[in-house]
A and B are shown apart, each in its own frame.
Chain A
């Protein structure tokens, strides 16, 4: 557990840099987190991030498939937005926990 200063804000993060308090998230924080990964956020990115945050709030388990069926973007498109690891990167930028298994 630690803190870091990003976009002129102090945020709480875990060892892997995932935010631990979703209420500290805003669009500037998202853009700065994305920049660290090498992604420049477009409106489409933000649509995905909003969807993820909303579903997380509702307590749903998020999957790449679920985002692909959201009507915002298909799975190929999601990979283009967040190359390499679409769900882990989009979750990180959305300020929600990393998708995890039980161990």
Chain B
């Protein structure tokens, strides 16, 4: 009996378990998936929780509902991968040997990496919305908040879902307008990058939204620490941004298991061949989703597109063929802009988000880099698609490889 071990039962790991169990004979291939948690959260939904649009029940289901029959499931922590001996050491001493290993351990927020972040103001005036706890605490806070300086800050790149902070300020703008206190809420977005938008065409097409909605931008601000007494962000070049309520994207890091296994970079993201999705130094290890150090977005859509490539290449490897499937870094992301509208971006390693239309049989086309109602419906519908089709590894009417169909090359 040959063995495949999947580390991580989140979006990426669950998709792979389903695809592989479907394709491989049960009497030839043993598949095991390992995860320390039993609850699967629909993470794109966390964004809506602070504003009371979604509640906890809308974003959680048991992981076990999505694992296929015929896969061994172990709910336990992972100590490390011993890649030279093709085995995984689990917490508690159990050992799993593998012929092929898939690392899908994701990324998580590490507020303790920023001095002053997880201190007296944490979950009182400082929140994240990348965890269920943070999103729920912020929902409660906003119910009684009377206004003041609302700051949305990004500590470090890369982080999960790069457009989420932008969506957050757009939704906050709508939320406080409808509450009748927008004039008392000063909204600022703080980024370590040169701007909220960094790609030339997206900048031209979407920056106006921030001006229209009266949202301030502080760019090139690299947070050194949070001053809890003054309630201010302090940058390495000693600038300060004061806040009354701070929503923050803490430093994102891969699982500590990656560090213990010596397979990744300084942020514990696994060194991954960006086209074949193989681990850089070990040909029987593949990497998918946020755990990989790929130069594309950390997002579910990327994991979804990558899952098709990884599946093809794992089949190639199993049957002794060269790894001909080629991941292009394809990502497809809705951007909620408030008031029932949204924008859509579609891009890969080499092609920046372009305007035009995105074809989707039956529903679309969606407008790319355009602020429309249909894009918002796309995002809302996606939750159903996620639970019922995507996690189960079923075919979606979207190609893994980015297409130029509908896109327009523009110059300004």
- Determine if B220 is an interface residue (Cβ-Cβ < 8 Å): yes
Residues of chain B contacted by A101 (CB below 8 angstroms) = 157, 162, 193, 197-199
Q: Assess whether A103 is in contact with B200, with CB atoms less than 8 Å apart.
A: no
Tell me if B163 is interfacial: C-beta within 8 Å of chain A. Answer: yes
Using an 8 Å CB-CB cutoff, how does the interface string of B190-233 with A read, 1 for contact, 0 for none? 00111001111010001000000000000010101000000000
B273 to chain A, nearest CB (A): 9
Select from chain A the residue with minimum beta-carbon distance to B269. A61
Answer yes or no: A38 CB below 8 A from chain B CBs: no
| Residues from chain A with Cβ under 8 Å of B166 in the complex | 103
Q: State whether B194 touches A65 (Cβ < 8 A).
A: no
Q: A100-B199, A101-B198, A102-B331 are in contact. Are A84 and B158 (CB under 8 A)?
A: no
Contact of A103 with B194 in the complex, beta carbons under 8 Å: no
Binds B, one of A3-11, A28-36, A44-52, A75-83: A75-83
B237 interface residue (CB < 8 Å to A): yes
A83–B237 Cα gap in the complex (Å)?
8
Which residues of the other chain, B, contact A99 by a CB distance below 8 angstroms? Answer: 157, 193-194, 198
Quick check: is B384 within 8 A (CB to CB) of the other chain?
no
Measured CB to CB, the nearest residue on chain A to B154 is A101
B153 at the interface (CB under 8 A from A): no
Q: Report which residue of A65, A83, A100 has the largest number of chain B beta carbons within 10 angstroms of its beta carbon.
A: A100
A65 lies within 8 A of B266 (CB): yes
Q: Report the interface size class on chain A.
A: 20 to 34
The dominant DSSP class at the A interface is loop
Return the chain A residue nearest B113 by Cβ.
A65
B237 touches A66 (CB 8 A): no
Q: Which of A15, A65, A84, A98 contacts B198 (CB 8 A)?
A: A98
Bound CA–CA A83/B222 (angstroms): 12
- A88 interface residue, CB < 8 Å from B? yes
A24 interface residue per 8 A CB criterion: no
Q: How far is the CA of A63 from the CA of B335 in the complex (A)?
A: 25
Is the Cβ of B162 less than 8 Å from the Cβ of A102? yes
Known A-B contacts A59-B274, A83-B237, A99-B157; A64 and B222 likewise in contact (beta carbons under 8 Å): yes
Residues of A within 8 Å of B162, CB to CB, are 101-103
Contact B236 A79 (CB under 8 A): yes
A60 interface residue per 8 A CB criterion: yes
- Interface residues, chain A, CB within 8 Å of chain B? 14-16, 59-61, 63-66, 69, 75-76, 79, 83-86, 88, 98-103
